[in-house]
Amino acid sequence: MINIGLIGFGNVGKSVFDIFAENGDLISNRIGQPIHIKKIAVRSIEKYSSQVPDPSLLTDSVDDILQDPDIDIVVEVMGGDQPAYNFITQALTHKKHVVTANKEVVSKHKRHFFQCAKEHGVDIYFEAAVGGGIPIIRSLKVGFSANNITAFYGIVNGTTNYILTKIQEEGKDFNTVLKTAQELGFAEADPTMDISGLDAAYKCVILAAVAFKIDVQLDSVYYEGIESISLKDIQYADELGFRIKLLAIGNRIDPDTFSLHVHPTLIPKEHPLSSVRNEFNATYIVGDQVGESMLMGKGAGGSPTASAVISDIIDISFNLSQSVSYRNLETRFSDAQVQSFDAHECQVYFRLSVKNTPGVLEQVSLQFSKHSISIEKIIQKEMIDDRADVVIITSPMSESTSRLLQENILSLDSCHQISSVLRLIKSF
């Protein structure tokens, strides 16, 4: 008999409970022994007592879980940094295996958790922290473990992918789509964490830890959100053969140097990541042996996330029958450099608003050639009064060159404004 203690009973916690009720036999069969949820720690017993068949399952003291010698696995699904950090640390110290769905706490404290787990002879799993139901963490840890991973490109935030898809497919603007997304539950009342790219950046840190075995913090990841993505850009990109996706990108530049960044990115329409629509997530992986692979699925929501949480519980239970395998710990983080984002190079999409007078395109083009940047495509669109939109796709340039170029272009009398600057990837 394996006993589980659940900390948190929100959307994911409730779904974990429901799946055990629904597929409990299947799960016990998989493991080869009975498994059940022994205790659920919540802030208010009263609030949740109607949601469980037996209210004695509930406790408002986490110690009832942490101190219970019969509990083998602690499942933390409360989210946030504190007090989750303390609860996880205590659980590990009490020699309990931990499963968490908490991207923030794993992103910040992974090294501490791994060391603490190893010290106390237990394991910590976090499949649900990135990509919801998609088995991306264990695929990187085991499925692709013969590989040096050279790059990952993740659509790891369902809210922003939903919004970008709807702007593109329904031709509506950002704010209209955001409002619908909030009504449908695909975006939070306060969507800042998703929209700003912060959520994706936390996940980028975790993917870097698992794919590259490096221990970095959020400040090593350049991130940018989708607030400034306009319907116009999405339509121009479409016309040029691209989709715009918010990607969490990790690149191995040389064996010990990495580049980590999150930003809206133009990618070719026919690329598999372009087929990832609405609230779906996906991670595209490049390994030195396996080549290119992609894992796609639902990145959020109670059931998909709980499905990942339970897969971790099952994985631990396989080992519990014997002893712990530590298969999930990264205790050999390598010392690595993260490249400054200034040095990062890629193709760029510019949308400029210029005066509709002769010679403007020449003036603009000159700025690019001064920096030895060639123009791959240039289209002029939409003349309104004396203004025209000019869309330009360039050869690769560094972030610092891009900034210089923007200054130079803005100094031109013929340029009203730079409406958009977006990064573009054609080969993965």
* Closest approach of a copy of itself to the CB of residue 283, in Å: 11
Q: Binding segment for a copy of itself among 53-61, 134-142, 200-208, 347-355 (CB under 8 A)?
A: 134-142
* Closest approach of a copy of itself to the CB of residue 246, in Å: 18
Q: Is 184 in the site for a copy of itself (CB under 8 A)?
A: no
Tell which positions 248-287 bind a copy of itself, by CB under 8 A: 270-272, 274-277, 280, 282, 287
Q: Among residues 172 and 327, whose Cβ is nearest to a copy of itself? A: 327
Distances from the Cα of 77 to the Cα of 6, 98, 209, 289, 354, angstroms? 7, 11, 21, 35, 51
Tell which positions 329-368 bind a copy of itself, by CB under 8 A: 332
Count CB atoms within 10 A of the CB of residue 262. Answer: 28
* Closest approach of a copy of itself to the CB of residue 374, in Å: 28
* Closest approach of a copy of itself to the CB of residue 59, in Å: 24
Q: Is 371 in the site for a copy of itself (CB under 8 A)?
A: no
- Compute the C-alpha angle 224/165/178, nearest 5°: 70
370 classed as catalytic:
no
| Interface pick for a copy of itself out of 129, 156, 204, 324 (rule CB under 8 A) | 324
Tell which positions 138-167 bind a copy of itself, by CB under 8 A: 138-139, 142-148
Catalytic residue, candidates 39, 203, 245, 298: 203
- How big is the chain, counted in residues? 428
* Closest approach of a copy of itself to the CB of residue 271, in Å: 7
Q: Is 219 in the site for a copy of itself (CB under 8 A)?
A: no
| Interface pick for a copy of itself out of 327, 355, 371, 416 (rule CB under 8 A) | 327
| Interface pick for a copy of itself out of 133, 154, 158, 197 (rule CB under 8 A) | 133
3-class SS string, the chain: CEEEEEECCCHHHHHHHHHHHHHHHHHHHHHCCCEEEEEEECCCHHHHHHHCCCHHHEECCCHHHHCCCCCCEEEECCCCCCCHHHHHHHHHHCCCEEEECCHHHHHHHHHHHHHHHHHCCCCEECHHHCCCCCCHHHHHHHHCCCCCEEEEEEECCHHHHHHHHHHHHHCCCHHHHHHHHHHHCCCCCCCHHHHCCHHHHHHHHHHHHHHHCECCCHHHCEECCCCCCCHHHHHHHHHCCEEEEEEEEEEEEECCEEEEEEEEEEEECCCHHHHCCCCEEEEEEEECCCEEEEEEEECCCHHHHHHHHHHHHHHHHHHHCCCCCCCCCCCCCECCEECCHHHCEEEEEEEEEEECCCCHHHHHHHHHHHCCCCEEEEEEEEEECCEEEEEEEECCEEHHHHHHHHHHHHCCCCEEEEEEEEEECCCC
Q: Is 111 in the site for a copy of itself (CB under 8 A)?
A: no
Q: Is 296 in the site for a copy of itself (CB under 8 A)?
A: yes
Find how far residue 301's CA is from the centre of its chain. Answer: 14
Size of the site for a copy of itself (CB under 8 A): 63
Q: Beta partners for 154?
A: 248, 283
* Closest approach of a copy of itself to the CB of residue 291, in Å: 5
| Interface pick for a copy of itself out of 318, 374, 381, 417 (rule CB under 8 A) | 318
Q: Return the structure tokens found at 349.
A: 């999409």
Q: Binding segment for a copy of itself among 33-41, 296-304, 338-346, 359-367 (CB under 8 A)?
A: 296-304
| Interface pick for a copy of itself out of 135, 355, 371, 400 (rule CB under 8 A) | 135
| Interface pick for a copy of itself out of 72, 233, 315, 389 (rule CB under 8 A) | 315
385 φψ region: left (φ > 0), alpha (ψ -120 to 50), beta (else) = left
Q: Among residues 136 and 405, whose Cβ is nearest to a copy of itself? A: 136
| Interface pick for a copy of itself out of 90, 259, 265, 311 (rule CB under 8 A) | 311
Q: Please, are residues 183 and 166 in contact by the beta-carbon 8 Å criterion?
A: no
Q: Among residues 111 and 416, whose Cβ is nearest to a copy of itself? A: 111
* Closest approach of a copy of itself to the CB of residue 30, in Å: 5
Q: Among residues 202 and 280, whose Cβ is nearest to a copy of itself? A: 280
Residues 12-41, one symbol each (x = binds a copy of itself by CB under 8 A, - = not), give: ---x---x--xx--xx-xx-x---------
Give the residues lining the site for a copy of itself (CB under 8 A).
Answer: 15, 19, 22-23, 26-27, 29-30, 32, 127, 133-135, 138-139, 142-148, 270-272, 274-277, 280, 282, 287-298, 301, 303-304, 306-308, 310-311, 314-315, 318-319, 321-327, 332
Residues with active-site annotation: 203
